[in-house]
Amino acid sequence: MIVYTREELFALCAYDVAPARDVRKAIFSQRLWLPAYGRDTLKRRLSRRRTHRPPNTVNKVPVSDVLDSEACCVLSDNKRSAPLNLLKFGLLNAWSVGNKFTAINSTIDEGKHDVFLVTETWHSASTDVALNRCAPPHYNCVDVPRLTAKPDKQNHGGVAAFTSDAVGYKLIVAPFQPTKFESVCFSVSCSSATVVVLLIYRPGSESVTETFFTELTKYLEAIALYKCQIVIAGDLNIHTERPNDSNTRTLFDILNSFDCVQHVPSVPTHKDGGTLDLIITKSEQQIEQLKVDPPGIISDHSLISWCVPILRQAPIVHEREVRPWNKLDKDQFRIALLSSPL
């Protein structure tokens, strides 16, 4: 175990020091290291403080005072304020969060994602320590772990989503229990608009069966009833870069029947090739700033990010005519009924 003294930790606050990657990961995992944008903000604030100080007092500020006052201000600004016109999404097949929670935490925080979707978390319970460490401050986690019958057997499933406090979220109960894929469905709301999100992971170790497409169709029938934007994302382990593949054709036929489109271009999203991680929306929806990072940076899959424009629906107004029944003259009403040809 590596041990650092108090003075050594404070010394890392200097901007001419570049700690090794293992050191940065260890410090960041203990919430002792600011993200890059936090360090830039702190540096600007320190620069402004030095500008307004007499020259002979610039170097007399203890490092501990800087950490106690300025760093706290930076951390308090981490709470996201959702954009007025865009929601930023991220998608990653983590291939276990157990040894990547620091990288995932940093990716969510520095990328300022409003919603970050993770498949193959390899967690067996919502209380999993590594899973909870993936969430930066002011983020919530909604997850569905893979329950294993044998505790000693490696868990290669699980899905989770991290949502910023800047957007409201609500878990949507699954219409049935799928057997061929893992999923979690929820809604996020912001600026009087709602987006329903369905995260899916289909294990690549299993062959694509007719049951999978039947269950996927059943799920799409349920969420298609929502009168709002829909985002379906995840790792379906279907090679959509192969247009002549029978599974690809069947998948696209189902999407077309629900007037949905797939947005990820035919580029490898896995280190061994294949467009396996997908983003699906209704055909009238648009996504912006789509970015597919090369696979192998965080895990064996690509990190995919995109933005969803917030579409504010006009309120539905129903016109109706009413009368104050408490002021009704019953005698006149009776006479009118008796004289009516009806």
pLDDT at position 49 is 45
Q: Choose the weakest-confidence range: 173-177, 233-237, 257-261, 317-321.
A: 317-321
Q: Are the C-beta atoms of residues 119 and 159 closer than 8 Å to each other?
A: yes
Q: How many CB atoms lie within 10 A of CB 48?
A: 10
Report which of 223, 188, 199, 226 is spatially closest to residue 83, judged by C-alpha positions. Answer: 188
Tokens of 38: 């936090």
Angle (CA) 290 293 297, round 5°: 155
Query: Average per-residue pLDDT in the chain?
Result: 83
- Alpha carbon of residue 264 to chain centroid: 17
- Residue 61 is predicted with a pLDDT of 36
| pLDDT value, residue 324 | 81
pLDDT greater than 80 at residue 17: no
- Number of residues that make up the chain: 342
Indicate if the pLDDT at residue 182 is higher than 60. yes
Dist CA 229 CA 308 (whole Å): 9
Q: With contact defined as beta carbons under 8 Å apart, do 88 and 52 qualify?
A: no
pLDDT in tens, 18-49: 667 666 666 666 656 665 655 555 555 555 54
Least confident of 47-56, 263-272, 277-286: 47-56
**Please, where are the H alpha helices in the chain?**
6-11, 21-29, 36-51, 63-66, 72-76, 101-111, 129-133, 210-223, 246-257, 330-339
Mean pLDDT, range 176-197, rounded to an integer: 93
What confidence score (pLDDT) does residue 73 get? 35
Average pLDDT over residues 156-173: 95
Give the CA diameter of the chain: 102
The tens digit of pLDDT for each residue in 83-108 reads 458 999 999 999 999 999 999 999 99
CATH code of 86-309, in short, is: 3.60.10.10
The DSSP call for residue 327 is: G
Whole-number pLDDT of residue 318 = 73
* Per-residue model confidence (pLDDT) at position 25: 66
Name the pLDDT band for 64 (thresholds 50, 70, 90). very low
Express each pLDDT in 235-267 by its tens digit.
999 999 999 999 999 999 999 999 999 999 999
What residue ranges do the domains of the chain occupy? 6-76, 86-309
Q: Cβ distance 279 to 273 under 8 Å? A: no
> Cα(215)–Cα(240) distance, rounded to whole angstroms?
19
Q: What CA–CA distance (Å, rounded) separates 204 from 266?
A: 18
Q: What is the pTM of this model?
A: 0.70
Long-range residue pairs from 35-38, CB within 8 A, at least 24 positions apart, any chain: 35/106, 35/109, 35/110, 36/110, 37/110, 38/74, 38/75, 38/78
pLDDT single digits (tens) 117-149:
999 999 999 999 999 999 999 999 999 999 875
Looking at the chain, which runs of residues are DSSP E strands? 86-93, 115-119, 139-144, 159-164, 168-172, 182-190, 193-201, 229-235, 260-262, 277-282, 288-292, 304-309
